[in-house]
Structure 1
């Protein structure tokens, strides 16, 4: 199954239906809770990297509607950490949705900004932890290299880019599981496009610098991990 490098997800189209787009953002918490595994990643990778003797910071690149940013902030707060989360996305529609949700009381420990990782590097910003969810499959090899370079400049302790593994089985399972969402949002059609656009672990290993790790997390997850100072 070759990687689909040309198809465009509906929600990335500037003229997509705004009502379907908002419902897609609203359904992301349910879908991400079911398939993305950030609870486990928080416990195993993020929490051990958070300092307890000072406030800590986390950057969520390509945060979309902001549900991962909010979930990580809440988990850290329950564990007694003073974690400040920044979610960034260059898409004005995603930024507007996330900031409106925050204004409605979703979480005051999270700040959303319309920006790219390159903007933050240029401003000299730095965070203890940097994450992204379902961003890598949107990128060409050159864009992936730029993101990883930005991430190295932004990360103080650990970075995790989590994405889907391309697989026919994943296509079948996701397609069946999301049938109830097929009419009311872009979740099903864009999710299937995302799977077809996603990288295999071996493909990523051929693209990332030596100081990065590519890990396979079953059933269908790629983790691209960076720890500053770690030996290649």
Structure 2
């Protein structure tokens, strides 16, 4: 199955149905809890890289509806970190939804901005850990290069970009699991498109700089890691 590089997800269209878009953002927490595995990534990769003395900062690039941003803040807060988590997205629709979610969850240590990673690089900002979820498959070659360069500039310690790994099994299983959501949002339709657009591990290794490590993670996941500096 070849990568569908020209396919477009409905929620990326500026004229998509706003009701279905809001429902899509609202359903992200359920879908990401089931398929994205960020709880394990936080425990295994992110938590060991956060400073135990003084403030700790995490940046979530392309945060969408903000559910992972909020979860990272919640987990770090629970573990006693003096945490501040920033979620950025260039889409003002995502930023507005995420800002509302922040208010509903009462998360003063979370901030959502309409911005790109290059905006933050230009402003000289830095974070201990930089993450993204399901962003890589949206990007063209130049955009991917820019994201990785920005991530290396923004991260003091670690950058983690997590994405789907393309496979026919993933298509079949996701299609079956999300059938009850069909027509209620863009989750099923765009999720299937995302799988078709996503990278195989060998394809990702062929286009990223040597400093970045590609790791296959079950089920149907790719991780792209950049460890900026070793732990003390």
Assess same fold via TM > 0.5: yes
CA positional deviation for 1:229:
3.8
**1:35 paired to 2:66:** no
CA positional deviation for 1:103:
2.3
Q: Provide the residue aligned with 2:53 in structure 1.
A: 53
Per the normalisation by structure 2, the TM-score is: 0.97
**1:130 paired to 2:130:** yes
Q: Provide the residue aligned with 1:198 in structure 2.
A: 198
Q: How does 1:1-232 map to 2 (within 5 A)?
A: 1-229=1-229
Contact 2:62 2:90 in 1 (8 A): yes
Output one character per residue of 1:161-199: Cα deviation in whole Å (capped at 9) or x when no partner. 000000000000000000000011000000000000001
CA positional deviation for 1:107:
1.8
Contact 1:73 1:83 in 2 (8 A): yes
Structure 2 residue runs of 5 or longer lacking an equivalent are: none
Quote the RMSD (CA, aligned, Å). 0.9
Contact 1:70 1:106 in 2 (8 A): no
Structure 1 residue runs of 5 or longer lacking an equivalent are: none
> Hey, what's the Cα distance between the residues in 1 that align with 2:63 and 2:87?
5
Contact 2:156 2:229 in 1 (8 A): no
> Hey, what's the Cα distance between the residues in 1 that align with 2:35 and 2:105?
25
> Hey, what's the Cα distance between the residues in 2 that align with 1:84 and 1:97?
19
> Hey, what's the Cα distance between the residues in 1 that align with 2:26 and 2:142?
31
Segments of 4+ in structure 1 off by > 2 A? 103-106
